[in-house]
Amino acid sequence: MKLLYALNSSKYHFHLLCLSCILFGVRPTQAQTSTAPMVFNAFDKSVGIQNTPLYQGIAFIPIYRTINENTQYFLTYAFLDGSVKYAGQAYNDQQLKYDVYEDKVLLKLVSSVGGATMELIPEWLDEFIINGHRFVHLRPTDTPSLSKYGFYEVATKGSVLTLYTKHNMERIDQRDEKFVYYEFFPEKSTYVLLYNDEYHIINSKSDLLRLLPEYKKQIRQFTNHNRKLKRDNPDGFYQALIYHMNGVVR
């Protein structure tokens, strides 16, 4: 793996906070509140985003040749507006791609350093937002009960229940006379529910009934009234179901 722009991250974060406070008249305690994104963005622009820990990563080398819109990327092949929390620091106003099949996030570098594509180091990436969709990194150390880890979309966040969706892709190998190319199609998602500070895999109505047996009537009623949604859009169905149950579960 080729690392780009290696920096001393801990030393950088210390000076980042102190210098930001000096430049913008913000006390350290204030810099950790809602004003922090503006302070950090201004500082990143002043020193150059390429001189921050965000530009530590892996040189991206494409693996899969694709020839149509059926790619492995979330929503679209194009880069999308987003933000990341990387190496403990938040970075807004970035251009991102999320490779669902490989579970990797790609960053478009600024034109002053060539505008190439870099792969972010997964272990350093805590969460990201792409085109308004928020993803968090669920790790074995945080959630030992899961069978599949990586980046999950926060589909529904409530006061009692929070639903996470793991998007999955199927790869189809295609051949013509000269080349091998690939197409990718959505597979059944994996659903994880956070309830009482524990993560539970929810891949069927039965799983939810076992987790919330005292609410069987409400779960069955919602399912019966939304069979078409469950068939045509499972992600949307589970999102709506958990949103509904947040108003029921106590």
Q: Give the residue-averaged pLDDT of 202-219.
A: 94
Element (H, E) at 126: strand 125-130
The pLDDT value recorded for residue 23 is 37
Shared domain for 109 and 178, answered yes or no, is yes
Provide DSSP, 70-117: --SBSS-SS-EEEEEEETTEEEEEEEEEEETTTTEEEEEPPGGGT--E
Domain end residue (candidates: 35, 56, 77): 56
Tell me the average pLDDT of the chain.
Answer: 84
CA distances from 171 to 8, 38, 157, 207 (A): 38, 41, 31, 28
Shared domain for 52 and 120, answered yes or no, is no
Shared domain for 148 and 194, answered yes or no, is yes
Can you give the residue range of the structural domain that contains 84? 61-202
Shared domain for 48 and 151, answered yes or no, is no
Q: What span, in angstroms and rounded, lies between the C-alpha atoms of 142 and 139? A: 5
Q: What span, in angstroms and rounded, lies between the C-alpha atoms of 58 and 96? A: 14
Predicted confidence (pLDDT) at residue 10 exceeds the cutoff of 60: no
CA distances from 126 to 12, 55, 76 (A): 18, 16, 22
- Residues in a beta bridge with 96: 80, 107
Residue 155 maps to a domain: yes
For residues 63 and 104, the answer to whether their CB atoms sit within 8 Å is: no
Shared domain for 68 and 191, answered yes or no, is yes
Q: Give the residue-averaged pLDDT of 217-225.
A: 96
Q: Report pTM.
A: 0.81
77 φ/ψ sector (left φ>0, alpha ψ -120 to 50, else beta): alpha
For residues 183 and 172, the answer to whether their CB atoms sit within 8 Å is: yes
Q: Give the residue-averaged pLDDT of 136-161.
A: 93
Predicted confidence (pLDDT) at residue 27 exceeds the cutoff of 60: no
Predicted confidence (pLDDT) at residue 188 exceeds the cutoff of 80: yes
Shared domain for 162 and 109, answered yes or no, is yes
Q: What span, in angstroms and rounded, lies between the C-alpha atoms of 202 and 218? A: 17
- Name the token pair of 32: 């950790």
Predicted confidence (pLDDT) at residue 70 exceeds the cutoff of 60: yes
Shared domain for 121 and 190, answered yes or no, is yes
